[in-house]
Structures are given as structure tokens and as C-alpha cells.
Amino acid sequence: MTEQPIGRFRFMDAQRVNLDGFAVENPDLGLIAFNSPADPTPSLVVREGVVQEMDGRERKEFDLLDSFIADHGLDLGVASEAMSLDEVAYARMVVDPGVSRGEVVRLASGMTPAKLARCLAHLRPAELTLALTKCRARRTPSNQAHVTNRSDDPLLLAADAATAAAFGFREIETTVPVLGDAPSNAIAVSIGAAVGSPGILVQCSVEEALELQMGMRGLVSYAETVSLYGTEQIFIDGDDTPWSKAFLTSAYASRGIKMRVTSGGGAEALMGSAEGRSMFYLEARCVALARAIGAQGVQNGGIDSASVAGSVPGGVRSMMAENLMVMLRNLESCTGNDALMSESDVRRTSRTHPIFIGGTDFICSGFGSVQRYDNMFGPSQWNAEDIDDYLAMQRDWGVDGGLRTAQERDVAALRERAVAAVRAVYEALGLADFEDAWATQAIDAAGSKDVPNSDLMTPLNASRIIQDTRITMVDVIGALDEAGFEVEAQRLLDMLHARVSGDYLQTSAIFTEDLQVLSLVTDPNDYAGPGTGYMPTPERQREIDDIRQQKSVADLRREQSTYVDDGLVVIGSAAAGSDPRDVVIGVSPATGIAIGRTLCGLTVVEALDELLAGLEEEGCAGRIVRINDTIDLGLIGLTAARMSGSGIGIGLQAKGTALIHRRDLTPLANLELYSVAPSLTRASYRQLGINAGRHAKGATPEPERNPYSDEAIEARYHTTVVSLVAIERQLCRPGAAPEELGLSRSAT
């Protein structure tokens, strides 16, 4: 019989983080983040302008990657200076705000993969964060969204693309569960994005050749799925070579299409051919190769193998260091945070957070703007489930993570228009007819499960027609325009103009909403310490700060005013009672005037009803007196007790907090306190009334326990409390006499 672990460990084992895989470091399998024993010692030997040895390997031993990097990727004019630099000295330069980005970039261009990997392995997490802030190419950070769904539903894709644009994403990446659907997806997402905002870049991630073909026809405006790997074997398994990738890179540029490559630590270990090297060293080869083939940018940081990188000691740090390495190679850095790397919300947040606060060209190389189940890349690190969390995080730290709040009515209108636009274009081009019910469902849907009328054959048929009749983006633009979507037609035409002018081919390019290119060239990062570098404009800061959930005192006052009715009326001035069964319920200054509802959702009148009923059960007579000269609950209760014939008083703040007081106690002492107002119920107020009655009769009641909760009650209510207290404070008048109130009708 196996002995079962003690309760504490059974409990800990059941937590979500223990669904994650954690690997023992194993250099032979490439399961090591930094500095594997098999990583080469950095070296570079150059004779007559030709690299003869690089990172411990002689020219005749070069594999494909070595050859391409050695012959195309290094600035040999800087090499001897760069290679002789002390590793820690360079690491310090990378972090030092006094050393310019240009200088560390210049030196990196002369460093071999092993050298740069060694240097960056010295950086600790806080140093990496600062280095991202300083070394990213573009001054203004941004973000990319995934927009996909299980059924390749063109209407839902368009609605969700418009939604992603509304939330601020400047690049949208789609893909397909069914390869044949790709052209339809590309068009639907492009139209939806154009409905949402001008200047959104769109890609459809599929096999290299088809992706290029769609780009050539204008159906997408950038490409990203051009994968690089750090060992020769895996590179070839990926059906490419550095030369074919270099050519592909130029093919995209030759059509004026922005393109970045994809790599990421752990890929080689996952595919069983890491050659005993560390993930970071192999990634250093990928990044050096990306620069060598002339790509303007890289998405890396684990990517599809993020959970492999995340499974080893230091793996999460190495993913972040990969991003920094891209920046130091003077390339656009699209910083991973896409494939979900942990079942734990804490771990996945921890993985993203330093990158989020540091700021990068694209924080996520795919924030799943759709629900997890609809993400055909697999669930992302961040998903539709997390958009409000992310917006709150931006606001908490005052940082620009690329997103903005969108109002419900605006998104509803955009979704409706996106669906209408796709319907019109598909009908005009003879691609598909959509029934009304489908369209209605797609507009409202939070995900594809909400669109039962979606037909799986529609995107496939549409794609076949797009391919057979060689439909181009110009045809789509014509159809949009003819159907009355002139604004969107113009926006898509603008994206075609962009590929003619070529400015967005430069490093780290995005478009603003007024179609200005922001890139290394037009918006270079100039961070040089506090007070420099990117700062959100006041307008952008408002977008970050003004999340839709925030409330002002005025909002609260408006909300409360709807609960204030004529149920509570002033009878006259309050006098002290003499009946031993008299119990005064003292209420706070705003009660029934500006505040009508307690934090638990009961109205003040309902709470008072229960208190009175409880007193009555014990044969006591309750009187309601508004104490106008204090907002302190202890004093309210004590004042009530002193006016009470029985000497027992109840204090009630309009927000619902209540206590029982006795005339001979000090203000801060009391008999019973019901402090957790949000958790109180009718029954608790009834019990409080009963207990007060028993105190009045000289009996000793069993005190009511405050209800227990593991919820963040304070997070939910404290902001409201601040506003409610402010309202009470405004109505509190020093020296004002108490007033006796009557309930004009029963709320029960």
C-alpha cells in the first residue's frame, strides 16, 4: 500500500501549477537554458576579410548556419573590437543608460552568436527589463492579436478582427484549422480589421509558399511564419535552408510586404536535435541568422516551445534574453508571450510581466484576442478572457502595453458593420451567401460556440473560388466600395499604397491610425535614463487610465440616487426616550438623502425594516434617528444608545456597516460589530435587531459571527467605500441636531 502524502502536500499537489511539467536540467537533450557544457567558447578568426573560424569551428567544418552567418551576418570591421570585449563589461553597457543604444547595437554587429549569448547570460531579470526599455528599436510599444476560430467562420473572423482593432492591436495574425480556408480567412480578417481601424497590418499564418502567394495577391499585408532553427538538422527538417529563407525574405520585400522571421528557445530540444547545446546559444544562432538573411525582425521568446523553455531552471529568463538579443541585432522584436506556457495564472503572468513593463515592439507575438477554445494556434498566454486584466495592468503600472479600452456600444456597432461588409463582399464576388441568423449570431457571439448556424463548407468553397478566379485585394476593394463601404475600401487601398511606398519595410514598422509609419527610422527609441524615451501622450495616457469600469464619486452618487425614495421621512427633532424597551437606531447623515443602498445590495429601508422587526420579536420598540453631526459609526451608535430609553443603541451607516452600542461605553468600544457590510443579508440585520433587543432586556445574546469569505472583498468595495464616505462627509454638519425619521411604508 502506498502511503499517501500528508494533507498539506495533497492540497499543494492539487494546485494548478502542478499540472505544468518541470524538467531536470539535461544538457545532452538540450534541456538547459544558458551555458551548456557543449556550448562553444566564442571565437572569431578572420583572414583577408573571410571568416576562417567562428565559435570554435573551422571554416571547413561549418554547417549551413555557420556558413551563412560567417559570410553575411557579421560586421567584420567591428569584430575584433567586439570579440575582445569583456563579457560583463558589454553586459553593463547594455544596461547602462549612459551608453547609447546605437553603441551597443554597433558592437553586437561584430559579435558571434556564442559571444552575444555569453554576454547576455550575465543579465539578471531587472537588468533585462531595463535593457528592453533601452534597446528596443521602436520608441512606441505595440501589440499583436490572434484572430481565429474553430470553424473559420468569415463573419465571426471579421467581427473579431474589428473588435481586436477597437482594443488597440496594430497587427492581427490569423490562421486556419483547415489549410484550404486560408484565402477566405485572410480576406475576412482584412475587411474586419479595416472596419475596426485604419492601418492595421494583417497576416495569415500558413505554409511558407501559400503565405507568400497570398501576400503577392495583396490578401495579407505582412508575414511572420518564416521559421528559423538553431541546428542544421532541424532547419532542414523544416524544409528550408538559410539560402531559401534569404530568398524568401527578399521575395516578400520585392512585393513590398513586411516580413519577420520566427524562432524560439526549446524548439530544437522539442524536436530532438539540440546537439547538446543550450537553448539560448541555439537561439543566438537563429537571431544572428535572421540578421544575416536581411529580415527586419524576429518573433522569439520560446514561441511554440515556450513551455519547453519554461520547464528548465532559468528558462523564463532565457526567453526574455532572447528578445533582448533581437534588439541588439538591431531588429524588430516581437516578444513571444503567445503560446500558453503554464496552467497557472500566476506563472504565466510572471513570465510576461517584466516584458510588459519594459516595453517592446510587440509585447505579445499573438495575444489571443479570441477565447482560448477559438485560438487555432492553441491557447495564448493572454486571451479574450484576460483583456480586462491586461487593461487593468496597463493602468496599474501606467505603462503602454499597446491596448486600449473599447466601449460596448462602439464594439457592437463595429461588429455589425464588419459582418455586413464581409457579407456584401462575399455576395458581390460570388463567394458565399449568408443567412440572417448566422449574421446575427456572429455579431453577438463571444466565440464560435455562439454561432451554431455557421457552415463549415462556406469558407472552403469561398477559398476555392478566390484561388480559381485569382481574386486580389483590388477586387475586394472594388466590391466593398460598390456595397457602400467606401471608408473601409479606402483603408484597404491605403494598405496597398503602403506596399508601394515601402516605408513599412523598415525595422519595427507599424501604422498609426492616421497612417503614419512608426519604425526604427521614423520613431527611433531614444531612451537614456529617467525622463527620456517613450512617454504616452496625455491623450494616450487617458486611454490607458480610463478603463470602462472606473467610477467617480459622481457616478456613485448618480447610482445611489436611484435608490433614494420617499420611504424614509423626517418626522421631527429627536428626543431622548424613557421607556426601557426603547431602542434607538442611529443612522448616518447621508442615509435616505444621498445613499439609498447598502453594499450588500439591500436598500437602507430594507435593512431598517429587518432591524425593526428583530427588535419587535424581542418585544422592543425601535426608533430611527439620523445623527447629523458625525460619520463615525461608533459615535453614531453611542449617540443612539444615549438617546435610547433602554440605553442600548444600534448604529447603521448608509453603506450597511452596523453595530450595537451601550450608553456607558466609550465610542470605540461596542457590544457587537457587523463590519463586513458587503456580506450582510436580511437575516444578519434581523439577528442584529434581535440581539440588540436582548441586550436591552438585560439578556446576553450569542454574538453573530462575521461571515467568512476568501474573496477579495476589499478589492471589490473599498473604492466604493471611499466615495460613500465622501458623500457622508459632505452631508455631515458639526453641531447639527439629530432628527427622528419614520418609515412611510414597509419594504418587506
Partner 1 sequence: MTSAASGKDSTAVTLDAVRRGEVSADDVRIHPQTLLHQARVAEAHANPQLAANFRRAAELALIPDEQVMAIYEALRPGRSTAADLAAIATDLDQRGAVINAALVREAADAYRARGLLR
**Is 274 in contact with 268 (CB distance < 8 Å)?**
yes
Which lies closer to partner 1 via its Cβ, residue 85 or residue 521? 521
Closest to partner 1 by CB, 282 vs 295, is 295
Rounded to whole angstroms, how far apart are CA atoms 156 and 705? 51
Beta-carbon neighbour count of residue 288 at 10 Å? 32
DSSP 8-state assignment for residue 591:
B
Rounded CA-CA distance 9/500 in Å is: 63
Q: How far is the CB of 295 from partner 1 (least distance, A)?
A: 7
Backbone angles phi, psi at 151, to 5 degrees: -110, 10
State the DSSP code for 565: -
Catalytic site residue 144? yes
Residue pair 430/399 in contact (Cβ under 8 Å)? The answer is no
Closer to partner 1 by Cβ: residue 495 or 741: 495
Beta carbon nearer to partner 1, 22 or 247? 247
The catalytically annotated residue of 338, 374, 523, 543 is: 338
Catalytic pick from 365, 380, 441, 560? 365
Strand spans (E) along 384-493 = none
Residues 650, 585 contacting (CB under 8 angstroms): yes
The nearest distance, CB 112 to partner 1, in angstroms, is: 15
**Is residue 299 annotated as a catalytic residue, yes or no?**
yes
In angstroms, rounded to a whole number, what is the distance separating the alpha carbons of residues 262 and 203? 14
> Taking a C-beta distance cutoff of 8 angstroms, is the pair 168, 404 a contact?
yes
Closest CA to 376 of 146, 144, 145: 146
CB of 505 to partner 1, least distance (A): 6
Are the CB atoms for 356 and 125 separated by under 8 Å?
no
Is residue 383 within 8 Å of 60, Cβ to Cβ?
Answer: no
328 or 339: whose CB is closer to partner 1? 328
By C-alpha distance, which of 89, 149, 18 is closest to 458?
A: 149
State the Cα torsion 99-104-107-108 to the nearest 10°. 160
* Phi, psi values for residue 572, rounded to 5°: 170, -170
Residue by residue, DSSP assigns 490-524 as HHHHHHHHHHHH-GGGSTT-EE-TT--EESTTTSB
Cell numbers 478589492 label which residue? 715
CA pair distance 132, 332, nearest whole angstrom:
12
* Minimum distance of partner 1 from residue 709's CB (angstroms): 57
Distance CA 530, CA 679 (A): 45
Least distance in angstroms from the C-beta of 332 to partner 1: 10
CB-nearer residue toward partner 1: 66 or 416: 66
Q: Which long-range contacts (CB under 8 A, 24 or more apart) does 606-609 make?
A: 606/682, 606/747, 606/748, 607/652, 607/656, 607/658, 607/680, 607/685, 608/568, 608/652, 608/743, 609/743, 609/746, 609/747, 609/748
Nearer to partner 1, 231 or 653 (CB): 231
φ, ψ of residue 365 to 5 degrees: the values are: -95, 40
Whichever of 259 and 279 has its CB closer to partner 1, that residue is: 259
Report d(CA 561, CA 75) in Å as an integer.
Answer: 70
Catalytic residue among 142, 299, 342, 687: 299
Active-site residue identified among 36, 39, 109, 146: 146
Annotated active-site residue 146? The verdict is: yes
CB atoms within 10 A of CB 746: 11
Least separation, in Å, of the C-beta of 485 and partner 1? 11
According to DSSP, residue 597 is labeled B
Exactly one of 181, 224, 374, 475 is catalytic; name it: 224
Least distance CB 78 / partner 1 (angstroms): 11
Binding site for partner 1 (CB under 8 A): 63-64, 67-68, 71-73, 75, 102, 105-106, 109, 208-209, 212-213, 216, 218, 232, 236, 239-241, 243-244, 246-256, 291-296, 330-331, 472-474, 477-478, 481-482, 486, 489-490, 493, 496-497, 499-503, 505-507, 520-521
Length of the chain: 748
Active site residues: 144, 146, 173, 224, 299, 338, 365
